[in-house]
Amino acid sequence: MSYRISRRANADIEAICNHIAKDNANAADRLDQLLHRTFQMLAQFPGMGRTRLDVWTSNYYFWKVGNCIVAYRAKDKQLVVVRVLHTARDFRKLFKVNHATHRMTAAGQIEQVELPPNGTSDDFRFIFAGAKMTPLDAKLREKAIQSNPDDWESRLTLLGFYGKRPTKQEKYFQHMLWMIDTRSSDYVSNYMGHEYHSRALIWNKSREHEASARWSRQVRKHPDDSRVLCNAASFFEKFNSTTSERLYKRAKKVDVTFAKPARMLAYEYRYRAWSGPQRDRARLVRLALKEADEALQRGEGLGERVGLLTEFTPTAIKFGYLEQARKFAKRLQYYGKDSSLWNQYAYLFLAWLDFRENRNRALNFKLKRLQSLFEEYPTHVASCHAARSFVNDVLDSELRGTAQNLLRVLISGTDDQKEKKELEKWLIAITDQRNAKLKLLKKKLYRLF
């Protein structure tokens, strides 16, 4: 898809860059280049960013670039950049207000109008509000349900209220059953299964049987609803992995554009690979990587795509699927153009791949680039599981110089002083104990991170 910049957006870019150029002309040039790279990325992946309920035109998407917000829309196979605004401006006043969701006060301020539940992730606002309710408010909500059992909003708020009170779990469970029976395709209904699994102490055979029967009934009632199938599969994950896997596969077949079943299968296979018998590990890892790649192809949201890439690239590297891993890392590097954190992950993975493939010159370049990214924006990447695995690989190879270089890079990547001191101790141990085998020193690594 090509892109076009509207006259207003061009004027916005010129005004922002001219203002920055008064103090730093190079910074203005960098921002201009970054914005145009972002436009190219958005044209390649239209739909990135988010919509806003307070903006009347629902087909506008908003994407943050540094201190700017890009407003765009896709029209006739072309992406149109509508505005580019500094975050300091109240950009909502520059668009028509959606009076169904927001209204203008007498003082000229825009305030939100409370919307009813809609079955999406937005419904969590009621659960979060319920967690802060007083017992008196909860009683009023219960009375409202007595007069109107289909009071969906009250059900959600009470789930939030009872979910924070261990002595009220029976009431929580009853509202959960109502959600299964009445709102089985909702985003929140998927969450309920995971939420309830975390409360293992309140589960008993009776409740497990009751909830399982309700979900099975919904599956029979809605055999062609991929979201019902996916929510049911999520519930059965902890109780019956075979049923869960079967339902996820059915959900994939029902809707070939729905990415969530493939993503959940990828995580499930990876979990079973690590926790199950050694003889099944290679097969399950292949399945996990296949499902992760399919989820990416099905058009996941950007956050889900990045999550998959950061989780499954190191898995592919560990098990020797280096071509697949490089494909994932390159894709993450593309997304990292607008995120320092994602870029750091991408270069960490690419450096690890270069090490695995004995590409020493490329490895040195990646480590230098990673160090410059860390110095510019210190993060937690330096102590993530993938970084530890990379260091382990280097120590197993007994390449002391490479291990020292890698640790220096990781030291530059954290702003946590305690973590930095421990990494420095490890670097000193490797440097001083020149006659010691690195494999023997490796066990200390897990105490230092």
What mean pLDDT comes out for the span 182-194?
A: 81
Q: Using an 8 Å Cβ cutoff, are 258 and 226 in contact?
A: yes
Percentage, residues of the chain above pLDDT 90: 35
Residue 96 pLDDT > 70: no
Question: Which tens digit of pLDDT belongs to each residue from 67-79?
Answer: 888 989 877 678 8
What pLDDT, on a 0 to 100 scale, did the predictor assign at position 197? 44
Q: What are phi and psi of 24, to 5 degrees?
A: -155, 100
| Cβ neighbours of residue 33 closer than 8 Å, sequence gap 6 or more | none
Phi-psi region of 339 (alpha: psi -120 to 50; beta: other; left: phi over 0): beta
Domain boundaries, the chain: 2-112, 341-449
Q: Assign domain 2-112 to a CATH class.
A: alpha beta
In 163-240, alpha helices (H)? 169-182, 187-197, 205-221, 226-236
- What is the C-alpha R_g of the chain? 26
Residue 421 pLDDT > 70: yes
Q: Using an 8 Å Cβ cutoff, are 145 and 106 in contact?
A: no
What pLDDT, on a 0 to 100 scale, did the predictor assign at position 196? 47
What pLDDT, on a 0 to 100 scale, did the predictor assign at position 412? 82
Task: Please tell me what DSSP assigns to residue 201.
Answer: G
What mean pLDDT comes out for the span 243-250?
A: 94
Cα separation values, 111 from 69, 102, 126, Å? 21, 6, 18
Task: Please tell me what DSSP assigns to residue 97.
Answer: B
